[in-house]
Amino acid sequence: MTTLRVIEGDITTLAVDAIVNAAAPGLGGGTGVSRAIHAAAGPQLFEAASALDPVGRGDAAATPGFALPSRWVIHAVGPIYVTGALGEDTVLARTYRRALEVAQQIGARRVAFPAISTGAYRFPREQAARIAVAAVREAVAAAPGAFDEIIFCCRTAGSAALHQAALAG
Ligand code: APR
């Protein structure tokens, strides 16, 4: 049985098995949640992430969490929202599913996600929340027994409310 939960807060403070980073394909630093994760994890995270092969849009790869309270960071690269008619929905859903496939491979049973693509990548927040919840439900159903808890960690109350509404829907 896997619990899906929404919290409002800073993902870098969560002592879970893995937190997901909303990364760019080169897996460097960046802005937003990525900057916060790299700052909290320390310079070793940058070295480890930079040493990985580039990650394509909709894909993910893991590194240790270094100074973070979470054991792992799963670097997931969401779509840049352009018009909405370029397959952005499909790529966002795949990003969540791939992040959970990587989580399963490394044995992470408690995983926290930020709202991927809703900052610098400009994905509309309500639509992104619905896609995130649907994709996570699908991935959890496809991997029975793999996960104890999946957390949607939202930076603002508005984002948390959208995820709560999507979970209730
Ligand atoms: N904890 C949880 N969520 C956070 C935090 C935090 N500490 N800081 C920001 N967020 C939220 C933002 O409010 C936003 O809803 O993360 C969400 C994703 O925003 P971005 O970090 O801008 O990620 P994204 O839209 O996927 O853009 C990725 O930005 O940093 C660069 O290198 C990164 O190029 C990539 C792009």
Any ligand 1 atom below 6 A from CB of 95: no
* Domain count across the chain: 1
Cα of 131 from ligand 1 centre, angstroms: 17
Per DSSP, helices labelled H in 52-156 are 88-106, 125-142
* Nearest CA, atom 14, ligand 1: 119
Domain membership of residue 77 as a residue range: 3-168
pLDDT in tens, 101-137: 999 999 999 999 999 999 999 999 999 999 999 999 9
Give the C-alpha separation, 147 to 102, whole Å. Answer: 12
pLDDT of residue 92: 98
**Alpha-carbon torsion, ordered 26, 18, 155, 25, to 10 deg:** 10
Any ligand 1 atom below 6 A from CB of 121: yes
Any ligand 1 atom below 6 A from CB of 2: no
This prediction has a pTM of 0.98
Instruction: Identify which has the larger pLDDT, 92 or 28.
Output: 92
Any ligand 1 atom below 6 A from CB of 119: yes
Q: What CATH number corresponds to the domain at position 57? A: 3.40.220.10
